Amino acid sequence: MLPCVRCKAETELYENGVPICFGCSVRERSTQEVLETTANKGEAFRRFEAIVLQSPGHLPHADGVQVIKNAANELSVARKQMARAYDRLSTYLEQGIVPEDLKVTAKKAVTTMAAGVGAQGTAKRSSTAILLKSPKQR
């Protein structure tokens, strides 16, 4: 067993060939999701703002109204996705509740390791159990 690259806890899990414990992996993936959705929301806002600013001082033509509605809907969806990502991260950090889609990823990693194949492609015998602990409990 090697130490996790982030918290130094012993782990048998690997991500891209790097030893990382389940808790750090969930935190890292959730943080990445927050960053990506925030960037997407920023892009949607810039597109919306550019469309609205194209017709300052007068009403847009009929086709322009639909373009504005589409951009507003895109921005609304991006904001909801960002809020969901922030909520998932804060729920994990505050309550230790792992999002369902990330639990599936952990089960696949444990199944692979239990089958005897390590991240480096070498045979490995071990029984792996994942204890889901809140970051506050560490």
> For the chain, what are the domain ranges?
2-137
Kindly report, residue by residue over 45-57, the tens digit of the pLDDT. 999 999 888 876 6
Q: For tokens 């909520």, name the residue.
A: 87
pLDDT of residue 74: 97
Kindly report, residue by residue over 21-38, the tens digit of the pLDDT. 888 888 889 999 999 999
pLDDT of residue 17: 82
Q: Is 44 exposed, middle or buried (0-12, 13-18, 19+ CB in 10 A)?
A: buried
pLDDT of residue 125: 29
- Which residues on neighbouring strands pair with residue 11, listed in sequence order? 2
- Positions of the chain with pLDDT lower than 70, given as ranges: 56-60, 104-138
Q: Which two tokens stand for residue 60?
A: 């847009």
